[in-house]
């Protein structure tokens, strides 16, 4: 996006002035090379975008042929083109911790931070229901980046690929310019662990020794960004210990976020953050990141297949008491019969971590699947026609494409689909204590969105959330 600052930065220099400089020719050649490579990169991205949907949120400005470049520092030229400013400053949260529903919340918190720090925010890769650099899929595999941009109009977002492009270009410039003296310095990086381990009595921010056991996925940016190579980058390390109380209320978050902005207002080009924060960081909590159109359409297709009328069930068997499961299944069956009769709904849709595709659970943290689990599911399956994202052929295109196999092995994009289908359901029920995981942010997110829709007078939703009852054999 061409920023208004851009023009004022291009100080007019007369040709005569420049002619005197011996570096002039080198510079011109350099610019030509730079503009050409930039042009090719744009072309490449365009063809990539055609294949994979829209990958780039904001394309960097392309120089028109008759623009006069008047700064002769090639790094500044790169930065102006890429970030709209002579210095690029990034916020790159490479680990968001926790699963998608929570990571979604944290991404919004850090977008707020990026705005306050006036830093370009990197759209970290996604996959297996996580947002972190260890994944191979681009951010927009899960999310709608255009709507995200509307939600945060003051933040410039760049994909990981864009970031790698910048690193590589910078590296090239450095190689060409740094003959003898250091014209282009190493990358300046602040690596910070923002963590809520609740091990201090209040928020503590401090410098620490270089962390030797950095996340191994960071090595994917080598050699362009090599944190252990001092000729490549100068890295400072810090830790921010956060406590529960810092994030508990709007008022405490107001105080804490000011501290955060204060300590992270720094000169380093790259602010690399490893986050594990559990709760929102700012007083205002922004609405959930919108999912991409492909997943929304899949949810709509499922709704259509169920004649637009179904009970959504979220049954997360993880953390259930295995011996209680027969009574849980019986209780669910009774509840379903009752709701179907009272509300006249014929279809049911089951969102579950019970393995639907293979022997793998839909959740990474759910290991021990016993016969109790199998029996409970069989009991339910023998009583009703159970519809799931698998039986209704959700995400079929992706499943046919071997490229996404890993995504379907555990928790992944199907979890987002389940969430959307449950949000859309006419009636939504979830498991009681003992039968399922109760403190699920996934379930809470569904209930919250349903409450919003009901408040907006969506009459197709007949309840927010109900929990079925465990069948009582003694009655
Ligand atoms: C390029 O030059 C032409 C003619 O001088 C001018 O009309 C046009 O606005 C210029 N384009 C840009 C992008 O500056
Ligand atoms: C964007 O920044 C402008 C200027 O600082 C501010 O007035 C506006 O409220 C910001 N927009 C949002 C959505 O935060
Ligand atoms: C990164 O730097 C370290 C230390 O200088 C070096 O051993 C390693 O080979 C570098 N990695 C790459 C991919 O160049
Ligand atoms: C229910 O039973 C059908 C038919 O035996 C089977 O194909 C399906 O996978 C079962 N569903 C679940 C959720 O176990």
**pLDDT tens-digit profile of 79-101?**
999 999 999 999 999 999 999 99
Ligand 3 centroid to residue 164 C-alpha, Å:
17
In a domain, 51, yes or no: no
Q: Which ligand is nearest to the CA of 61?
A: 1
What is the mean predicted confidence (pLDDT) over 434-444? Answer: 88
**Residue ending a domain, choose from 276, 305, 333:** 276
68 lines ligand 1 (CB under 6 A): no
Q: Are 166 and 88 in contact (CB under 8 A)?
A: yes
Percent of the chain past pLDDT 90, that is, above it, reads 71
Assign 308 a pLDDT band (cuts: 50, 70, 90). Answer: confident
In a domain, 363, yes or no: yes
**Residue ending a domain, choose from 217, 247, 276:** 276
Ligand 4 centroid to residue 218 C-alpha, Å:
42
* 161 and 93 in a common domain: yes
What 3-state DSSP class applies to 90? strand
What's the pLDDT score for residue 343?
Answer: 95
* 460 and 393 in a common domain: yes
Q: The domain spanning residue 325 has which CATH number? A: 3.40.50
* 376 and 317 in a common domain: yes
351 lines ligand 4 (CB under 6 A): no
* 221 and 354 in a common domain: no
Ligand 1, atom 2: nearest CA belongs to which residue? 66
Whether pLDDT at 5 is above 90: no
Whether pLDDT at 43 is above 60: no
What's the pLDDT score for residue 361?
Answer: 58
Assign 52 a pLDDT band (cuts: 50, 70, 90). Answer: very low
* 457 and 364 in a common domain: yes
Q: Which ligand is nearest to the CA of 383?
A: 4
In a domain, 8, yes or no: no
What 3-state DSSP class applies to 208? strand
What's the pLDDT score for residue 1?
Answer: 41
Number of Cβ within 10 Å of residue 421's Cβ equals: 28
What's the pLDDT score for residue 387?
Answer: 97
Considering its fold, how many domains does the chain have in total?
A: 2
474 lines ligand 1 (CB under 6 A): no
Assign 413 a pLDDT band (cuts: 50, 70, 90). Answer: very high
What is the rounded CA–CA span in Å between residue 366 and residue 360? 9
Q: What CA dihedral angle connects 121, 127, 131 and 136, to 10 degrees? A: -40
381 lines ligand 4 (CB under 6 A): yes
What's the pLDDT score for residue 334?
Answer: 95
Sign of CA dihedral 237, 241, 247, 253: negative
Please state, rounded to an integer, the average pLDDT across all residues of the chain: 87
Whether pLDDT at 271 is above 90: yes
Assign 11 a pLDDT band (cuts: 50, 70, 90). Answer: very low
What's the pLDDT score for residue 71?
Answer: 67
Q: Which ligand is nearest to the CA of 115?
A: 2
What is the rounded CA–CA span in Å between residue 130 and residue 122? 15
Assign 15 a pLDDT band (cuts: 50, 70, 90). Answer: very low
Q: Which atom of ligand 4 is nearest to the CA of 381?
A: 1
Q: Which atom of ligand 2 is nearest to the CA of 115?
A: 14
What's the pLDDT score for residue 165?
Answer: 96
228 lines ligand 3 (CB under 6 A): yes
* 315 and 235 in a common domain: no
In a domain, 148, yes or no: yes
Ligand 2 centroid to residue 153 C-alpha, Å:
8
What is the rounded CA–CA span in Å between residue 219 and residue 201? 34
Ligand 4 mutation target, pool 352, 357, 375, 381, most atoms within 8 A of CB: 381
Q: Which atom of ligand 2 is nearest to the CA of 153?
A: 13
Q: Choose among 89, 121, 268, 115: nearest CA to 190.
A: 268
What is the rounded CA–CA span in Å between residue 269 and residue 393? 46
Q: Choose among 41, 35, 18, 44: nearest CA to 74.
A: 35
Query: Own/partner pairs for 245-250, CB < 8 Å, 24+ apart?
Result: 245/202, 246/196, 246/202, 246/203, 247/196, 247/277, 247/278, 247/279, 247/280, 247/281, 248/279, 250/283
Q: Which ligand is nearest to the CA of 313?
A: 4
CA angle, 397 as apex, 395 and 400 as ends, to 5°?
A: 105
Q: Choose among 265, 247, 246: nearest CA to 105.
A: 247
Q: What CA dihedral angle connects 375, 376, 381 and 383, to 10 degrees? A: 110
Which residue segment(s) compose the domain that 126 sits in?
87-276
Helix 74-83 and helix 160-177: axis angle, to 10°? 170
Q: Which ligand is nearest to the CA of 64?
A: 1
Whether pLDDT at 49 is above 90: no
In a domain, 42, yes or no: no
| Token representation of residue 20 | 């005197």
Ligand 4 centroid to residue 358 C-alpha, Å:
12
**Global pTM?**
0.82
What's the pLDDT score for residue 41?
Answer: 55
Give strand pairing partners of 257: none
Q: Which residue has the higher pLDDT, 205 or 58?
A: 205
What is the rounded CA–CA span in Å between residue 186 and residue 184? 7
What's the pLDDT score for residue 422?
Answer: 97
Assign 56 a pLDDT band (cuts: 50, 70, 90). Answer: very low
Q: Tell me: the pLDDT tens digits for 365-382? A: 666 788 899 999 999 999
CA angle, 39 as apex, 34 and 43 as ends, to 5°?
A: 145
What 3-state DSSP class applies to 66? coil
What 3-state DSSP class applies to 376? helix
Q: Tell me: the pLDDT tens digits for 96-148? A: 999 999 999 999 999 999 999 999 999 999 999 999 999 999 999 999 999 99
In a domain, 70, yes or no: no
Ligand 4 centroid to residue 271 C-alpha, Å:
49
Which contiguous run of DSSP H or E holds residue 300?
helix 293-305
Q: Tell me: the pLDDT tens digits for 199-257? A: 999 999 999 999 989 999 999 999 999 999 999 999 999 999 999 999 999 999 999 99
How big is the chain by its Cα radius of gyration, in Å? 26
Q: Could you tell me where the DSSP H helices lie in 53-94?
A: 74-83
* 453 and 305 in a common domain: yes
Ligand 3 centroid to residue 186 C-alpha, Å:
14
In a domain, 404, yes or no: yes
**Residue ending a domain, choose from 276, 309, 339:** 276
What is the mean predicted confidence (pLDDT) over 136-165? Answer: 97
Q: Are 130 and 59 in contact (CB under 8 A)?
A: no
Ligand 3, atom 5: nearest CA belongs to which residue? 229
* 354 and 305 in a common domain: yes
Q: Which of 16-30, 275-289, 356-370 has the lowest mean pLDDT?
A: 16-30
Ligand 4 centroid to residue 389 C-alpha, Å:
12
Ligand 1, atom 1: nearest CA belongs to which residue? 66
Ligand 4 centroid to residue 388 C-alpha, Å:
10
* 177 and 270 in a common domain: yes
* 206 and 335 in a common domain: no
* 107 and 256 in a common domain: yes
What is the mean predicted confidence (pLDDT) over 342-364? Answer: 83
Q: Which ligand is nearest to the CA of 222?
A: 3
7 lines ligand 1 (CB under 6 A): no
In a domain, 107, yes or no: yes
What's the pLDDT score for residue 328?
Answer: 94
* 335 and 204 in a common domain: no
Q: Which atom of ligand 4 is nearest to the CA of 352?
A: 13
What is the rounded CA–CA span in Å between residue 196 and residue 242? 5
Q: How far is CA 209 from CA 189, 235, 237, 239, 319, in A?
A: 14, 10, 7, 10, 39
């Amino acid at each position: 996006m061409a920023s208004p600052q851009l023009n004022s930065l291009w100080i007019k220099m007369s040709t005569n002035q420049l002619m005197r400089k011996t570096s002039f020719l080198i510079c011109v050649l350099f610019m030509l090379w730079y503009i050409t490579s930039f042009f090719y990169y744009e072309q490449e991205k365009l063809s990539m975008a055609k294949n994979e949907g829209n990958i780039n949120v904001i394309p960097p400005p392309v120089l028109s042929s008759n623009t006069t470049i008047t700064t002769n520092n090639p790094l500044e030229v790169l930065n102006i083109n890429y970030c709209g400013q002579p210095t690029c400053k990034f916020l790159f949260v490479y680990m968001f911790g926790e699963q998608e529903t929570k990571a979604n919340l944290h991404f919004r918190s850090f977008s707020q931070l990026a705005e306050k720090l006036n830093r370009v925010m990197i759209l970290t890769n996604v996959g297996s229901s996580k947002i972190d650099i260890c994944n191979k899929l681009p951010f927009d595999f899960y999310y709608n980046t255009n709507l995200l941009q509307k939600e945060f109009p003051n933040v410039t977002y760049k994909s990981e690929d864009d970031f790698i492009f910048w690193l590589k270009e910078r590296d090239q410039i450095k190689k060409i310019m740094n003959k003898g003296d250091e014209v282009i310095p190493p990358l300046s990086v602040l690596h910070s662990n923002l963590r809520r381990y609740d091990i201090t009595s209040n928020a503590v921010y401090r410098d620490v020794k270089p962390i030797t056991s950095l996340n191994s996925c960071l090595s994917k940016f080598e050699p362009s960004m090599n944190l252990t190579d001092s000729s490549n980058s100068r890295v400072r390390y810090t830790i921010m210990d956060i406590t529960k109380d810092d994030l508990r209320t709007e008022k405490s978050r107001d105080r804490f976020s000011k501290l955060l902005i204060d300590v992270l207002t720094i000169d380093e080009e790259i602010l690399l953050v490893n986050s594990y924060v559990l709760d929102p960081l700012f007083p205002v909590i922004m609405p959930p990141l919108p999912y991409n159109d492909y997943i929304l359409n899949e949810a709509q297709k499922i709704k259509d297949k169920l004649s637009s009328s179904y009970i959504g069930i979220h049954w997360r068997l993880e953390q259930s008491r295995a011996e209680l499961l027969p009574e849980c299944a019986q209780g669910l069956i009774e509840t379903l019969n009752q709701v179907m009769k009272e509300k006249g709904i014929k279809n049911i849709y089951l969102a579950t971590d019970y393995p639907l595709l293979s022997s793998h659970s839909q959740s990474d943290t759910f290991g021990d699947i016993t016969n109790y689990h199998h029996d409970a599911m069989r009991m339910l399956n023998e009583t009703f026609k159970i519809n799931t994202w698998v039986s209704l052929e959700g995400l079929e295109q992706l499943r046919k494409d071997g490229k996404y196999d890993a995504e379907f092995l555990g928790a992944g994009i199907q979890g987002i689909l389940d969430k959307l289908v449950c949000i859309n359901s006419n009636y939504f029920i979830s498991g009681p204590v003992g039968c399922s995981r109760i403190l699920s942010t996934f379930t809470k997110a569904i209930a919250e969105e349903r409450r919003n829709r009901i408040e907006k007078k969506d009459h197709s939703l007949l309840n927010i959330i109900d929990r079925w009852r465990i069948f009582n054999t003694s009655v």
